[in-house]
Copies of this chain bind each other. A is one copy, B any other.
Amino acid sequence: MRDVSIIGIGQTKVDEHWDRSLRHLAGDAVLMAMRDAGIETADALYVGNMLSGLLTGQEHLGALIADFVGLRGIEAVKVEAACGSGAAALRMAYGAVAGGLHDFAVVCGVEKMTDTVNAETTTGLVMAADADYESIHGVTFVSINALLMRRYMFEYGVKHEDFAEFTVNAHRNAAGNPNAMFRNKVTAEQFGRARMIADPINLLDSSAIGDGAAAVVICPSSIAREYGNGQAVRIRASSMATDAVAVHDRSDPLWLSAVEVSAHKAYQQAGVGPREIDLFEVHDAFTIMTALSLEASGFAERGKGAWLAKAGEITREGRIPICTMGGLKARGHPVGATGVYQVVEISQQLRGDAGANQLPDARLGMAQNIGGSGATVITHILEAHA
């Protein structure tokens, strides 16, 4: 199979875009990525999206967005894997280009979560969980994570305040990202005082939903230098793994086995380990997911994810910087778009385009996008072209 590189990136600010429809947001990001790549057409479009049907009354986003951005006629589909839809779309595109089906593929993650049509956002988000065995009992998506967090605190003797640094770090980094939804700094004290959402998860444990779109253009690495500004980013690994959707069906709810498998496969493909990773865009939908992901990805021992944060290791100056542009928590979490935002942000870091948040010597970045409470996990390892 062929090596694949990212030759163009684009993103909108994550926000309540009441003046922009879903197709406009997607169009903004796709056209930006195509301009960045210096291409005027493409072979295929892969759209990552979870909720367009329920929230905006529109499915069939592949053809819709392809036409809107001037690519009428090309192959185009929507890919859905709950909050992992964005990276799942990249995974499909990666396979198609690596395998030789296409040369130039556009990936767009897009979600429009304000202005809903058929149901409220909470009804939409819980569709990432098991409708027949979880949601039917009245749990929401946040309350499933709350059960996990409560159990984690009990099992490992961790206090709620121990998670504070995840949020403080995310907001500190969002302050330097013009595309972030929340650029205000947050202190550990504010974290402790935030209002309760689903005990023990409070407002500042939770990422914010929003409207937004992000896009990348990929092509074979062999010709990548001819496009964009010669700053192509190589996809060193792409992997996907799944687990039971219902948390109660897992033998160990506190170990995200799909994270472990997906990360392990990615390390294997790239021929590296967690120590070689210079930054990690983790799926910090809730602080508990950040801790569990750091552990199952091999960055912290079991039960010690939060300690990594307390020790200052996750800041831009730390051993493994995470959420370098604000993460889901502070950049915002337009669910089906998030996985593509993560990849765009790592590309910014590896290209030296991260502005105020630029890491000095980042060479390898890992993006990990999660659907549900760990049921679908897609991991990509990206490398700056030498």
Contacts and interface: CB of A to CB of B under 8 A. Distances in A.
Interface stretch (A96-104, A168-176, A203-211): A96-104
Contacts of A81: 60, 62-63, 76-78
A201 interface: no
Copy number of this protein in the oligomer?
Answer: 2
A178 B232 CA distance: 55
Contact of A74 (B118, B242, B249): B242
B372 A60 contact: yes
A64 B246 CA distance: 9
Contact of A243 (B50, B51, B67, B126): B67
A132 B56 CA distance: 9
Interface residues of A, number: 64
B131 A73 contact: no
Contacts of A79: 77-80, 92
Interface string A51-74: 101101111111110110000111
A139 B363 CA distance: 53
Contacts of A39: none
A124 B117 CA distance: 12
B99 A95 contact: yes
A171 to B, nearest CB: 29
A369 interface: no
A79 B57 CA distance: 17
A130 interface: yes
A88 interface: yes
A254 B134 CA distance: 47
Contacts of A34: none
Interface of A: 1, 21, 23, 50-51, 53-54, 56-64, 66-67, 72-82, 88, 91-92, 95-96, 98-101, 118-119, 123-124, 126-132, 135, 240-245, 249, 257-258, 261, 371-372, 375-376
